[in-house]
Amino acid sequence: MLRSFRGSPTIAPVKDSRHSRPSTFATTLGDLDAHHDPASLRQRMSALTQHLQTSVEAERAAIAREIHDDVGGSLTALKFDLAWIERRSQDPEIRQRVHSALETVTAAIEASQRIMHNLRPAILEQGLVAALQWMTQRFERRTGIETVFRSSHETLKLPPGVPLVAYRTAQEALTNISKHAQATRVSVDMSASRGILSLEITDNGRGLRPEDLAKARSFGIRGLHERADTVGGWIELSSTPGHGTTMLLSVPIGRGSTNPGDLDDSEPAAERHDPSSWGEL
């Protein structure tokens, strides 16, 4: 049983109606109004959101590792065995069946790699600039939409968490463009100036109507806002019907984070690798 009183926090016994001895303890929370202070609630919600985002990313990484170690290893071994059979078989029918099976296994490996990249962007180990360049090139090949990526720096030294937030924001924006925008051209521009990292994604699609924006604020854009808030950033969304949409992520990174030549992670270059890649035959 929980009771609240004004005053200093205390612990008090609560009598059980059926017995004379105390059965539970009640915590006196002090001034209840303090727990409903809007600033305090926002701070607690922000901390909770950050914890949830961290937990989600940790779970994503764990699932990606399991796919790589278990599924990926088995598929690669199977591909080697099938290739061995194809090379040694003289029966045309068997060779044709094996060739077909190899194509199926290859497709499964590619699908597994795609899933792993979506779960855990290992490409970020090479830096945010390289990761976004890879993402935009892959997006253009997959969708046929002309996509241009520009960056003010070749490499950036960024605070922990910022590269992943920027990557996920661009990923979400490009996904929405491919599904809804009916665009023929997309530009992704990243710059760092005066202690602010800016990531702008613009398309020339059908744009958003006011009712679309209101709907977007419900969950999709709210999730982006909450993700940006975990690193002290914010999202701005602007659109004109028939003239495309622009999404801007801004994150404070400090004035010492924009030196050319700096890397955006502290991992030694020799240890960088893509754990989602498997050996080729």
Q: What percent of the chain has pLDDT over 70?
A: 71
pLDDT tens digit sequence for 91-133? 889 999 999 999 999 999 888 887 877 777 778 888 999 999 9
Residue 238 phi/psi, 5-degree rounding, is: -135, 145
The reply to whether 38-119 and 124-265 are identical in fold is no
Pick the CATH number of 38-119 from 1.20.58, 2.60.40, 1.10.3470, 1.20.1440: 1.20.58
Cite the DSSP H helix spans in 187-274: 210-216, 220-229
The yes or no reply on domain 124-265 and CATH 1.10.10.410 is no
253: how many CB neighbours lie within 10 A of its CB?
A: 21
Q: How far is CA 168 from CA 101, 120, 164, 227, in A?
A: 35, 10, 6, 9
Q: d(Cα 142, Cα 48) in Å, to the nearest integer?
A: 36
Of the candidates 190, 195, 150, 137, the one whose C-alpha atom is nearest the C-alpha of residue 166 is 190
* pLDDT tens per residue, range 70-84: 888 888 899 999 999
Across 118-122, 147-151, 204-208, 277-281, the highest mean pLDDT is recorded for 147-151
Rounded CA-CA distance 49/35 in Å is 18
Measuring CA to CA, which residue among 38, 41, 43, 9 is closest to residue 26? 9
* Rg over CA atoms, the chain: 26
- Can you give the residue ranges of every domain in the chain? 1-36, 38-119, 124-265
Q: How far apart are CA 224 and CA 226, in angstroms?
A: 5
Do the strands 146-151 and 22-28 form a parallel or antiparallel pair, or are they unpaired?
A: unpaired
Taking only the tens place, the pLDDT of each residue in 183-233 is 999 999 999 998 999 999 999 999 887 776 666 555 677 778 888 888 889
